[in-house]
A and B are shown apart, each in its own frame.
Chain A
């Protein structure tokens, strides 16, 4: 779908401080092109804050580069235009608009201003593709507010797809989903990850084991461990942090 070469996400010594509290304490990591990276760690490890820093929501020091371009210091909507999209823990779709309208708006940033003044007469190709990829074709004309929880998350991912983002940052995409929905979401992520880089923040260890290509463990604002699922699970430091949490042990 995309012709341009995939880009590296390179995070170098990123620090985020809230009123003296250090939420992210010098994180450095690299996510290669085409990776499906899971970001795990106990509550307060700084996972969401790190994603906030990458997407321009929280001021941070250090350096975040995507495809060689520095992201820190740019306003949110400019970072998006460099090909980086994210979702939030609670699905935020435009409840009063239909699925089609939601996707169409997401696809609109590359359009020229005057086209905004016209009505949408047909379904744009990229929107149609996103509908098919996310399996929402049947829900096209429904108001997004009436979708099931899982469908809203898929719609959000679909909105990132039509934006043609190269890097997807997903914050707990399967929280609150049924087992079946988790399975479908995992398969969707693998489909999406074929020609994009995906970073997933997740608490659900079963989900991680089933779908992660690589894992980074954060703890107290630092990188604790990194590697494949098996490597990370074998790391004694990880076991220590998760002591008592049967999911990893």
Chain B
């Protein structure tokens, strides 16, 4: 008997189940690194890179929401912090040493670089900020919120409000943030021209590798003792407190990690798509991050990632065809999945497996 398996019985299907995950990831890597660059045009590959960024956010959501029960409706906030940190550095690098970014010259209200822009001229500071800003802010929010035992819908509304507030703040500071237009028109990415298709392809590979790595790390976390503890906190916070743990701390770790993943996704989104703007980080995109994870299956890393890619893809394709109907369709799909299939499409597999196991148990019992 294996101790590592959590609930699977060591029957025939379990033996190949051990290989299911490595095979799945190998297949995923093959598709992302082999098939996709081969069959997709540069334009479509760029779109896929964008979907993969959404998938990275979804992996974080599967940790915080799927395992931790925290409905993070405002991941756009952390996505935006990572995205803007990267975009600010790229703008400064494009402008060259001592020069102002182009949009600041355009709006012309300042002839000096604002103090809070200055550290971002250093690539090291910018890269660190991609992680430190979202995770630090999440730690601050989480610590004050979880300790006061704010949870459920209140937590969801709060996180959504923060994403909205951040977007509004950015719009209000047009002279230094680019306002509604955001930051765009990037030329290079750490010295490599973004006009060169080869470099754009490299960005895609970077995103694909990051996604796979974060998926593996999150999966490990799911199956670790911490993952079990997180489920315990989700199901019965009070009970965990009576085991001598501080549930606020347990939740905080998952929340901060999910914020970090959203930040990384935002930072990679900028060179891949070429823009970061308030419209990409407010309430609507924040909800879309969650919808992808919900439809694919929030309790499964792969389910959340695949769901996010599928929903993002459907959004681009279907919204081209039916621009107004898509939003309703998406909302309807979300409601149906949450109401009738809380585990998302990924849970169909487990439902089928449980059905099969039940049948074999009946057979052996008889």
Contacts and interface: CB of A to CB of B under 8 A. Distances in A.
A205 interface: no
Contacts of A163: 243-244
A80 B221 CA distance: 26
Contacts of B9: 141
Interface in B195-227: 220-221, 223-226
B228 A86 contact: no
B241 interface: yes
Contacts of B241: 76-77, 80
A86 B244 CA distance: 11
Nearest to A95: B235
Contact of B231 (A75, A97, A118): A97
A104 B228 contact: yes
B228 A121 contact: no
Contacts of B223: 119
B41 interface: no
Nearest to B226: A116
Contacts of B240: 105
Contacts of A117: 220-221, 224-226
A80 B231 CA distance: 20
Q: How large is the interface on B (under 10, 10 to 19, 20 to 34, 35 or more residues)?
A: 20 to 34
Q: B6, B223, B225, B242: which has the most chain A beta carbons within 10 Å? A: B242
A105 B229 contact: yes
Given A96-B235, A97-B231, A105-B243, A116 B7 contact: no
Nearest to A75: B246
A102 B240 CA distance: 10
Contacts of A118: 224-225
B239 interface: yes
A119 B225 contact: yes
B228 A101 contact: yes
Interface string A146-182: 0000000000000100010000000000000000000
Nearest to A86: B242
Q: B4, B223, B225: which has the most chain A beta carbons within 10 Å? A: B225
A94 B232 contact: yes
A4 interface: no
A121 B4 contact: yes
A77 B7 CA distance: 29
A156 to B, nearest CB: 9
Contacts of B235: 94-97
A55 interface: yes
A111 B231 CA distance: 18
A92 B224 contact: no
A186 to B, nearest CB: 23
Contacts of B4: 119-121
A123 B2 CA distance: 11
A111 to B, nearest CB: 8
A94 B7 contact: no
A119 B245 CA distance: 19
B229 A141 contact: no
A159 B224 contact: no
Contacts of A81: 244
Interface string A96-137: 111001101110110100011111111100000000000000
Contact of A123 (B3, B224, B225): B3
Contact of A105 (B7, B221, B228): B228
A91 B181 CA distance: 56
B236 A105 contact: no
Contacts of B245: 77, 108-109
A85 interface: yes
A143 interface: yes
Nearest to B243: A106
Nearest to B229: A105
B3 A109 contact: no
Contact of A97 (B3, B228, B238): B228
B229 A108 contact: yes
B3 A120 contact: yes
Given A106-B243, A117-B221, A98 B6 contact: yes
Given A96-B231, A108-B229, A121 B243 contact: no
A120 B6 CA distance: 10
Interface string A53-76: 001000000000000000000011
B225 A94 contact: no
Nearest to B217: A117
A183 to B, nearest CB: 27
A94 B236 contact: yes
A105 B224 contact: no
A85 to B, nearest CB: 7
Interface in B1-45: 3-4, 6-7, 9
Nearest to A87: B242
A125 to B, nearest CB: 14
B252 to A, nearest CB: 13
A116 B235 CA distance: 19
Closest 7 CB pairs of A and B: A80-B244, A109-B244, A116-B226, A94-B232, A76-B241, A92-B239, A116-B225
Given A102-B232, A141-B7, 8 more contacts: A76-B242, A77-B245, A81-B244, A94-B236, A96-B235, A101-B228, A105-B225, A117-B221
26 contacts: A77-B243, A77-B246, A80-B244, A85-B242, A86-B242, A92-B236, A94-B232, A95-B235, A98-B6, A98-B7, A104-B225, A104-B228, A105-B232, A106-B243, A108-B229, A109-B244, A116-B224, A117-B221, A119-B4, A119-B224, A119-B225, A120-B4, A121-B3, A122-B3, A141-B9, A163-B243
Interface of B: 3-4, 6-7, 9, 220-221, 223-226, 228-229, 231-232, 235-236, 238-246
